[in-house]
Amino acid sequence: MAVETVRGVQASEPNVHGYRSFSLGEFTFRRDEYFVYVKWPTGSHLMSADAFLRALQRDVAWQFFYGTVNFDGVVGTVNHYGTVDLFAGRYNDAYRKAELDHVENFETPLIMATFRAILEDWTNASFDPFASPHETGTAFGPKTGDNKAAINRHRVTAKRMVAVPGDEPVRSDATGFRINRQFLDVPQDAPEIIAEPGFEGEVNAFNLFAYLSRSDVTWNPSVVSACKNSLYCPTTEEYILPIIHGNDRVEWFVQLSDEIYWDVENRDTGAVRAKDLMKAGDVAAMPANIRHQGYAPKRSMLLVWENASPDLPGLISSGKLPINPVDF
């Protein structure tokens, strides 16, 4: 491929379908009307373009997230918080046994710039990788325009809490966040705040259900409150979590509405470990050594509770902290 390098990103001229190809280390990425093709020295792999772009969008927006982001059972990334592994077949028993797996480590800015360039070039005007399939047009076909507004959305990361002056604002029709079609029954009232005299500027509250009912994205945990490293990251879910997330710490899930099916697997081999249906009100602690993918038949509200301490992966892998946060 005729490669041109812009700020470290290696890209070719557009192919007959209008899409550039990219290379990063010994990996290459190309797409046509339906599929994405990933190649490495010992193998190659194909994914549907919509699934690939949905996964890539999360990896980019979440800055490689906590631990492992599997795009599917073969390719993905591991975040080392400063550098990132890009792998193929590394966490797949069959690829490992056949010695077809491959891993390369990159400085975070280089892999981020490359992934951003792929996402921007391969996302057509009709496709929103964050939207539910019902609320977006097609990812397929020859290249037609771009969708920079969708792929560069502001990520909500409250420093203290949504609705606190100077922090993330609440959502409303006026700010362009309409109530989702599946949450039309969610009450939109706001809490009344009655502070003791002298504490008026220090007490705050907002209606989390109303806030979530106006989310325009799916499978995108956003920080709505932070207490030191303890982050409440609720999200609205519909269809399939576009990544299989491999944990490097424990995560708590609180199912706030409706239902989500979870597939839980061994993080390193992909062996099935549990099938789980979470119903409204259920609470789960996902262990620190699993990977999981969720399926939401109808838009639902999920609270993901994360501890963002940078010490956790080391404490858990060295055995100083348990894999399970609770024993029954």
Residues near ligand PHB (CB under 6 A) are 219-221, 235, 237, 241, 245, 251, 302, 304
| Secondary structure (DSSP) of 257-289 | SSEEEEEEEETTT--EEEEEEEETT-EEEE-TT
**Which CB, 138 or 157, lies closer to Fe ion?**
157
Per the CB < 8 A criterion, the answer to whether 237 and 300 are in contact is yes
CB of 309 to ligand PHB, least distance (A): 17
Closest CA to 100 of 79, 62, 74, 78: 74
**Which CB, 9 or 217, lies closer to ligand PHB?**
217
304 binds, among ligand PHB, Fe ion, none (CB under 5 to 8 A by kind): ligand PHB
Per the CB < 8 A criterion, the answer to whether 134 and 218 are in contact is no
241 binds, among Fe ion, ligand PHB, none (CB under 5 to 8 A by kind): ligand PHB
* 316 strand-pairing partners: none
CB of 28 to ligand PHB, least distance (A): 28
**Which CB, 35 or 295, lies closer to Fe ion?**
295
Chain residue whose CB lies nearest Fe ion: 245
CB of 258 to Fe ion, least distance (A): 19
Helix (H, G, I), strand (E, B) or coil at 92: coil
303 binds, among Fe ion, ligand PHB, none (CB under 5 to 8 A by kind): none
**Which CB, 249 or 299, lies closer to Fe ion?**
249
**Which CB, 121 or 251, lies closer to ligand PHB?**
251
- Burial tier of 169 (Cβ tally within 10 Å: 0-12, 13-18, 19+): middle
CB of 250 to ligand PHB, least distance (A): 11
Binding site for Fe ion (CB under 5 A): 245, 251
C-alpha span between 261 and 276 (Å, rounded): 6
CB of 147 to ligand PHB, least distance (A): 20
* 304 strand-pairing partners: 233, 253
156 binds, among Fe ion, ligand PHB, none (CB under 5 to 8 A by kind): none
Those residues whose C-beta lies under 8 Å from the C-beta of residue 207, and which sit 6 or more positions away, are: 170, 187, 188, 189, 190, 191
**Which CB, 219 or 232, lies closer to ligand PHB?**
219
C-alpha span between 64 and 47 (Å, rounded): 19
Closest CA to 206 of 153, 236, 168: 168
